[in-house]
């Protein structure tokens, strides 16, 4: 494990036998600025790992880029106050970004900070084209195996995970202090690797907010499985986008909130 993503911190632990002094592992959290063609656009609070994937995934899921190849270069630079990720993007996409005239704020919190009107909350997402059903057994197998793929969580208990599942197996999982960041890292990796988003589903260790569903829709992902609850807005957005949204996923049961016809038993 990369030592920079967590730190050992002195703690006083109180239990039934009294007070003891020990050490605890804490997940690191740093400001990460995404800089497009030399112009800083947004600062995310994130775990300092897989930041190129984070930057690309964020750019795609937020509609800044339409395709991964529109990012010509991604360079991560450490600074005194945090980390900068510099993206050299196509001029057409950069002009469109400037035209948005919007300061998107980091999504590790509520996800709405920084938008300039209530109309901006109404997410316009594309319709996801479906071709492959999801097997209930694959959902159960992946959930049962989730903890084994989250080393940082097992050390610190403070991070979320987002995994790509195909054939019931967790192919790749990314962790971050922000659930949106973990998903963006996964999406950025998938875009770089040419993942066929029709052949599996996303599994997240958190609740399913509307933003998580919107990000999946932007990449054409047909199924999102969460170990916790979805929000009502997330369920409506999933239905609108054609996404199967699964919540409270456990090794033996789950709840399907939209498009249940795509789950086979």
If 0-12 CB within 10 Å is exposed, 13-18 middle and 19+ buried, where does residue 20 land?
exposed
For residues 254 and 148, membership in a common domain is answered with: yes
Say if residue 29 is exposed, middle or buried (CB neighbours under 10 Å; 0-12, 13-18, 19+). Answer: middle
Q: Is the pLDDT of residue 262 over 50?
A: yes
Query: What is d(CA 102, CA 119) in angstroms, rounded to the nearest whole number?
Result: 13
User: Is residue 186 one of the residues assigned to a domain?
Assistant: yes
Q: Convert the pLDDT of each residue in 95-154 to its tens digit.
A: 999 987 554 444 444 444 445 445 555 567 999 999 899 999 999 999 999 999 999 999
**Res. 90 pLDDT band, cuts 50 70 90:** very high
Which helix (H) or strand (E) is 31 found in, with range? strand 30-36
CA 120 remoteness from chain centre: 20
Which of 120, 145, 173 is at the close of a domain?
120
Query: Would residue 71 count as lying in a domain?
Result: yes
Domain final residue pick, 95, 120, 145: 120
Q: Are residues 138 and 116 in the same domain?
A: no
Q: Is residue 1 part of a domain?
A: no
The pLDDT score that the predictor gives to residue 253 is 95
- Same domain (yes/no): 249, 146: yes
Which residues face 244 on adjacent strands?
A: 223
CA 86 – CA 250 distance, rounded (Å): 39
Q: Is residue 50 part of a domain?
A: yes
User: Would you call 228 helix, strand, or coil by DSSP?
Assistant: coil
Asked if residue 211 and residue 89 are part of one domain, the reply reads no
- Clarify whether residues 97 and 146 are in a common domain: no
Residue 163 shares a structural domain with residue 251: yes
Question: 45 is in which domain, residue-wise?
Answer: 30-120
Q: Are the CB atoms for 77 and 83 separated by under 8 Å?
A: yes
For the chain, the first-to-last Cα distance in angstroms comes to 38
| Domain membership flag for residue 51 | yes
Verify that 169 and 113 share a domain, yes or no.
no
62 shares its domain with 164:
no
CATH number at residue 103: 3.10.20.10
Residue 97 is classified by DSSP as H
- Which secondary-structure segment (H or E) carries 160? strand 160-166
pTM for the model: 0.90
Two tokens, residue 251: 């090794």
What is the structure's pLDDT at 54?
Answer: 98
Closest CA to 125 of 13, 1, 3, 234: 234
Closest by CA to 84, choosing from 72, 75, 93, 92, is 75
**If you search the block for the tokens 């807005």, which residue do you land on?**
233
By annotation, the residues acting in catalysis are: 110
Residue 164 clears pLDDT 50, i.e. is over it? yes
Same-domain status, 176 and 204? yes
Looking at 120, 142, 166, the residue that finishes a domain is 120
Domain count, the chain: 2
Q: What is the CATH number of the domain that holds 185?
A: 3.40.140.10
| 147 and 115 belong to one structural domain | no
Note whether 150 and 236 are same-domain residues. Answer: yes
**Is 63 domain-assigned?**
yes
């Amino acid at each position: 494990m990369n030592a920079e993503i967590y730190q050992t911190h002195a703690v006083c632990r109180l239990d039934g036998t009294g007070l003891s002094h020990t050490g605890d592992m804490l997940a690191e959290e740093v400001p990460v600025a995404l800089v497009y063609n030399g112009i800083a656009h947004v600062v995310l609070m994130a775990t300092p790992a897989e930041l190129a994937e984070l930057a690309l995934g964020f750019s795609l899921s937020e509609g800044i880029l339409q395709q991964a190849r529109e990012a010509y270069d991604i360079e991560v630079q450490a600074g005194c106050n945090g980390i900068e990720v510099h993206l050299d993007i196509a001029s057409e996409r950069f002009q469109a970004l400037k035209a948005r005239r919007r300061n998107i704020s980091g999504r590790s919190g509520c996800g709405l900070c920084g938008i300039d009107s209530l109309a901006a909350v109404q997410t316009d997402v594309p319709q996801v084209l479906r071709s492959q059903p999801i097997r209930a057994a694959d959902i159960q197998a992946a959930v049962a195996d989730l903890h084994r793929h989250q080393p940082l969580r097992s050390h610190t208990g403070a991070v979320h995970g987002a995994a790509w599942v195909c054939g019931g197996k967790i192919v790749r999982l990314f962790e971050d202090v922000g659930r949106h960041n973990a998903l963006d890292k996964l999406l950025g990796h998938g875009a770089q690797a040419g993942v066929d988003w029709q052949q599996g589903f996303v599994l997240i260790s958190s609740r399913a907010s509307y933003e998580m569903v919107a990000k999946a829709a932007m990449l054409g992902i047909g199924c999102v499985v969460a170990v916790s609850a979805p929000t009502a807005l997330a369920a409506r957005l999933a239905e609108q986008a054609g996404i199967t949204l699964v919540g409270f996923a456990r090794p033996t049961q789950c709840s399907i909130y939209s498009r249940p016809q795509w789950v086979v038993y």
